[in-house]
């Protein structure tokens, strides 16, 4: 009768559970340490990515060449464009004719043209000063930035001019009061928002990509078959896979945070414990996804392809890492929000750049927790000690 075999009381079972878990975890750690390629993906790649993104890749506009066509050579006109000359974002080239400027634009020697019309000074006095700004639109986001910068630089100077000119203040005068200011990234350096994004990327890499390989490897090499016919429980197998990669993920996170803070001076507006907590939550989500992919595909090549497609690519494309989700079509926005990475991205950017904004933290945090339970639960469900 089966009852006769129900031996062992709870504490003995717990001891056995811990002993097996320890044995399996030790095995995983040994394999991880001996597999140089996996270890370097887990530990070396984060550093390399940080350095590349931190130093090499930047979305900032600095010293953008622009053509300034002065058709009005009056001191007022010179004054109006002085804002551009002082700006760190532009290096203006003064030109006499529009024709010349257009040629420079076509050959992409300048990114924009600022045209001061011949009657600028008199029109300004009449309260109708107009400047033309033409931006090369091939790179939409760069164009927008240049347009914004140029408008604001010109508007500030224009306002000052108007203040100075006769106080005949009618309604039409000073109509364009562009007062733009950037919040939460006061310096508007892309490093500040790339680095939090990078943390998401790196956590996804160790969580989903590396673990996607480990279960599949055991299926491929046939190591599970013998392992299954032993007192081992599926949950022990899963835990033993999670533990070492969790540690690797945390080390990666720590390295990112240290570089972010001390190398790139990214601020930490919110609380560090909260940031760590949310990272741990996301790490569980990523591990869950990785294990799920691994258990379903049972094949390392497939697993790595699938995890690239559904975890790493969305981090780049759909999480708001590169492209702001508010600027994309609604459908893409909705799809983007299906990926856990998007929620972690919001959370980590909020915590690092804005501060403890509780409504966001609670909302995104609980979404992440939900995903963590879902994916780890599914991974547990599909990990059965069966071959069929």
Partner 1 sequence: MSDAHAVVGQHLHKRFLDKESGRTIHALKEINLEIPVGSITAFVGPDGAGKTTLIRMMAGLLRCEEGSLQVLGLDVAQHPQQIQDRISYMPQRFGLYEDLSVQENLDLYADLHGVPAQAREERYRRLMEMTGLARFTERPAGKLSGGMKQKLGLACTLVRSPQLLLLDEPTVGVDPLSRVELWEIVEQLRRDEQLTVIISTAYLDEAERCSRVYVMHEGEILAQGAPDALSAHAQGRCFMAVSHEKEPARALQSRLLDTTDLVVDAVPQGGHVRFILGEPHYRDEPRLQSILGTADIQAMTPRLEDGFMVLMRQRLQHMGHSHEASLAAATRVSASTGELASGTGEHETMIEVRDLVRRFGDFIAVNSTSFAVARGEIFGLLGPNGAGKTTTFRMLCGLLPASSGFLQVAGVNLRTARADARRRIGYVSQKFSLYGNLSVMENLEFFGGAYGLRGKRLRQRIATVLEQFELEGLERTPSGHLPGGFKQRLAMAVGLLHEPDILFLDEPTSGTDPLARREFWRRITALAETGVTIIITTHFLDEAEYCDRIVIQDAGELKALGTPREVWVQAGHRADSFLNMERAFIDIVNQGRQPSAQAASELAGSEVVHA
Residues lying near partner 1 in the complex (CB under 8 A): 1-2, 4-5, 16, 19-20, 22-24, 26-27, 30-31, 34-35, 218, 221-233, 385-388
Work out how close the CB of 30 gets to partner 1 at its nearest, in angstroms, rounded to a whole number: 6
CB of 384 to partner 1, least distance (A): 10
For residues 41 and 69, which CB has a smaller minimum distance to partner 1 in the complex?
Answer: 41
Q: How far is CA 78 from CA 68, 89, 119, 120, in A?
A: 10, 18, 13, 10
Q: Which is nearer to partner 1, 16 or 147 (CB)?
A: 16
**368 Cβ contact partners less than 8 Å away, ≥ 6 residues apart:** 278, 281, 282, 285, 340, 343, 344, 347
Would you say 25 or 156 has its CB closer to partner 1?
Answer: 25
Residue 42 beta carbon to partner 1: minimum distance, rounded to whole angstroms: 16
Q: CA nearest 80: which of 175, 173, 162, 168?
A: 162
Question: Measured from the CB atom, is 7 or 171 closer to partner 1?
Answer: 7
How do strand 64-70 and strand 112-116 relate by DSSP bridges?
parallel
4 φ, ψ to 5°? Answer: -60, -20
Say how many residues make up the chain. Answer: 388
Q: Using alpha carbons only, what angle is made at residue 169 by residues 164 and 175, rounded to the nearest 5 degrees?
A: 85
Provide the terminal-to-terminal Cα distance of the chain, rounded to the nearest Å: 27
Q: Give yes or no for a contact between 129 and 158, defined as CB atoms under 8 angstroms apart.
A: yes
**Nearer CB in complex with partner 1: 16/43:** 16
Residue 230 beta carbon to partner 1: minimum distance, rounded to whole angstroms:
5
Strand partners for 65? 91
Min dist CB 21 to partner 1, Å, is 10
User: Which residue, 136 or 385, is less far from partner 1 as judged by CB?
Assistant: 385
CB of 26 to partner 1, least distance (A): 8
State how far the Cα of 95 lies from the Cα of 115, in Å rounded to an integer: 9
């Amino acid at each position: 009768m089966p009852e006769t075999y129900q031996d062992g009381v709870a504490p003995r079972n717990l001891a056995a559970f811990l002993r097996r878990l320890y044995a399996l975890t030790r095995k995983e750690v040994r394999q991880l340490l001996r597999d140089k390629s996996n270890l370097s993906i887990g530990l070396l790649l984060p550093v390399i990515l940080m350095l590349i993104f931190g130093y090499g890749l930047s979305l900032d506009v600095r010293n953008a060449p622009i053509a300034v066509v002065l058709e009005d050579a009056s001191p007022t006109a010179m004054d109006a464009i002085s804002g551009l000359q002082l700006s760190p974002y532009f290096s203006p080239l003064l030109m006499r004719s529009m024709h010349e400027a257009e040629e420079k634009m076509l050959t992409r020697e300048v990114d924009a043209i600022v045209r001061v019309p011949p009657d600028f000074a008199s029109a300004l006095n009449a309260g109708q000063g107009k400047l033309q700004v033409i931006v090369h639109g091939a790179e939409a986001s760069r164009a927008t930035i240049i347009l914004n910068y140029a408008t604001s630089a010109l508007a500030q100077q224009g306002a000052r001019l108007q203040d100075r000119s006769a106080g005949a203040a009618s309604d039409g005068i000073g109509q364009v009061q562009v007062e733009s200011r950037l919040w939460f990234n006061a310096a508007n350096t892309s490093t500040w928002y790339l680095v939090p994004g990078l943390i998401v990327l790196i956590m996804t890499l160790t969580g989903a990509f590396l673990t996607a390989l480990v279960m599949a490897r055991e299926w491929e090499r046939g190591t599970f078959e013998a392992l299954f016919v032993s007192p081992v429980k599926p949950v022990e197998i899963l835990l033993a896979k999670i533990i070492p990669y969790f540690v690797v993920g945390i080390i990666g996170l720590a390295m990112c945070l240290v570089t972010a803070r001390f190398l790139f001076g990214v601020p930490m507006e919110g609380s560090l414990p909260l940031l760590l907590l949310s990272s741990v939550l996301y790490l569980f989500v990523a591990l869950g996804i990785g294990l799920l992919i691994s258990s379903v595909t049972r094949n390392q090549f497939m697993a790595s392809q699938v995890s690239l497609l559904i975890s790493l690519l969305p981090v780049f494309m759909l999480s708001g890492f590169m492209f702001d989700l508010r600027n994309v079509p609604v459908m893409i926005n909705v799809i983007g929000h299906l990926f856990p990475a998007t929620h972690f991205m919001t959370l980590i950017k909020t915590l690092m750049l804005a501060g403890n904004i509780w409504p966001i933290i609670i909302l995104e945090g609980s979404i992440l927790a939900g995903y963590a339970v879902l994916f780890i639960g599914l991974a547990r469900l599909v990990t059965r000690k069966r071959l069929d």
